[in-house]
Amino acid sequence: MTEKVMDQWSLVLPSTQPPLADRMTRDLGGIYTLWLRDVIRLWRDRIRLVGSFIQPLLFLFILGGGLSPRLGALGGARGGQALGYQDFLFPGIVGMSVLFTASFAGVAIVWDREVGFLKEVLVAPLSRTAVVIGKILGGATNSVVQGSLILALMPLFHLHPHFGQIAGAFLVMILIGLTQTSVGILLGVRMTSSQGFMVLMNFIILPLFFLSGALYPLDRLPSWLSLASRLDPMTYGVDLLRHALTGIHYFSVATDLLTLGGFLLVISFLSVHLFNKTD
């Protein structure tokens, strides 16, 4: 060992430990740190982004391309000009892309538990509430990036919204991302097996997607289906997205925002609560 190395032991003497920052500073720092980790991992696995790009393309070009000649124009219930099926479908698929990615962001917390990394986070001096918020933000970021890749295909679908509408679409993607990541984390908080999580999530994710009106207009549904659609939080997210991008919508902006926002608050509160009570 060199002299230089010997000298530096003073760096790690307990007396060099800074005093503990106040609760708020620690938690905000922790949230940022957890988010940053997810972003680094996302960037490192960017090939995965390309992989999950394929599925939405199948829906847009094969399902959309196949049905579009037979369906003719689909009109909005309130406002908006009639659109070809593919153009109608596009906002729904942007929503789907965010939904799917966000759902599986919740598995990250189960993975962290499986590989032991969660313990490293849990013994750090920050609250569990901060841990949950950090994970939700990380997962939401991931899903919004994924959704943006689809959104970038906009010019192919006769959609030329102005800047304000695109900004609106981003806000909606963030909202959907946060909501669905919270759902994933709520399920993942107590789970110890990522396989179990995947199975459960697959049960949930398809009904959420099919009922959301991503694939069809909501205005002439049989009453049981209409009711089921209204119970699906994703419905309001897709409605907002379609509203922002095409002008077609079935609910008012206020209804959409209040329902989705309220759902997000309830779910994230439950996740935090459950995580705080877990040993």
Binding interface with other proteins (CB under 8 A): 1, 5-6, 8-9, 11-18, 20-21, 23, 25-26, 29-30, 32-33, 36-37, 40-41, 44-45, 112, 115-117, 119-127, 279
The secondary structure of 141-188 as a DSSP string is: HHHHHHHHHHHTTGGGGT----HHHHHHHHHHHHHHHHHHHHHHHHHH
What residues contact residue 270 under an 8 Å CB cut-off, 6+ apart? 186
The C-alpha atoms of residue 201 and residue 254 are separated, in whole angstroms, by 29
The residue (of 18 and 222) whose beta carbon lies closer to other proteins is 18
- Closest CB 277 distance from other proteins, rounded Å: 11
DSSP letter, residue 212: T
- Closest CB 67 distance from other proteins, rounded Å: 40
The residue (of 20 and 54) whose beta carbon lies closer to other proteins is 20
SS3 of residue 232 by DSSP: coil
The residue (of 58 and 115) whose beta carbon lies closer to other proteins is 115
Distances (CA, A) of 52 to 1, 129, 154, 198, 228: 50, 30, 18, 16, 28
The residue (of 5 and 54) whose beta carbon lies closer to other proteins is 5
Angle between helices 194-211 and 85-105 (to 10 degrees): 160
The residue (of 121 and 208) whose beta carbon lies closer to other proteins is 121
- Closest CB 160 distance from other proteins, rounded Å: 40
The residue (of 52 and 165) whose beta carbon lies closer to other proteins is 52
The strand pairing partners of 73, in sequence order, are: 84
Q: Give the residue carrying structure tokens 């705080």.
A: 276
The C-alpha atoms of residue 230 and residue 233 are separated, in whole angstroms, by 7
